[in-house]
Amino acid sequence: MSAPDPAVFLHVRVVLSMVVSLSIARLLSGLAVFVQHPGRQKAYWVHLLWVASTLLLLVHFWWWEFRLAQLPVWRFELYAYVLFYAGLNYLLCAVLFPNDLDEYDGWRDYFISRRRWFFALLALSFLVDLGDTWIKGSALLPKLGLEYPLRAAAYVLLCAAAAIIRHPVFHGVFAVGNLLYQASFIVRLYDVIA
């Protein structure tokens, strides 16, 4: 097997960094509105937890994608797949912070009304992540253990439920549980790039 060409990965990484940067900027700009205009719209804590979770997801995505540097050959379809994955993350951010809330009665109303889009995109991102992990090499999957595929399956099911269920207690528990589990998963499995 030939050694990876750092110049090729640099080209891919630059494009990914632009999408990730736009995603993070979208979230931070959205959060800044709460500071700039605190009386305009009341924040919804479940929405804010998903914003925090998505920000953590983006930071983790950027960290995790460094493993792509080990690929010896890049083909266009691999590049398109990884770019599609990054684009999904941007769409999550765009759904969390629309251009305006004129049609909605605040952030709670907006989040509940757009939950199907948000959770469909989130579920899809977990499925795409399985492919992204496979791209990084078949030896990586056993290292991640059984928790990794079970996590993806559980999130797809929970996201499907969240797309259907409107009850605020369900959404609150899911948001809190997700953020705690997500942080635990990252610290336990991905604290070092190897």
Task: Kindly tell me the number of DSSP H helices and DSSP E strands found in the chain.
Answer: 8, 0
Report the C-alpha gap between 123 and 17 in whole angstroms: 23
Q: How many CA atoms are closer than 13 Å to the CA of 101, on its beta-carbon side? A: 18
Q: Output the pLDDT for position 40.
A: 83
Confidence of residue 140 (pLDDT cuts 50, 70, 90): confident
Closest CA to 23 of 61, 47, 55, 49: 55
Q: In this structure, are residues 67 and 2 in contact, taking their beta carbons and an 8 Å threshold?
A: no
pLDDT at 129: 94
Q: What percent of the chain has pLDDT over 70?
A: 94
Under the banding of pLDDT at 50, 70 and 90, the label for residue 5 is: low
More confident residue, 81 or 71: 81
CA distance 101 to 63: 33
Average pLDDT over residues 144-165: 95
pLDDT > 60? residue 60: yes
Q: Encode pLDDT of 38-57 as tens digits.
A: 888 889 999 999 999 999 99
Residues 6+ apart with CB under 8 A from 20: 58, 61, 62, 86, 89
Residue 107 has pLDDT above 80, yes or no: yes
Q: Over 90: is that where the pLDDT of 173 sits?
A: yes
Q: Please state the rounded mean pLDDT for residues 123-145.
A: 89
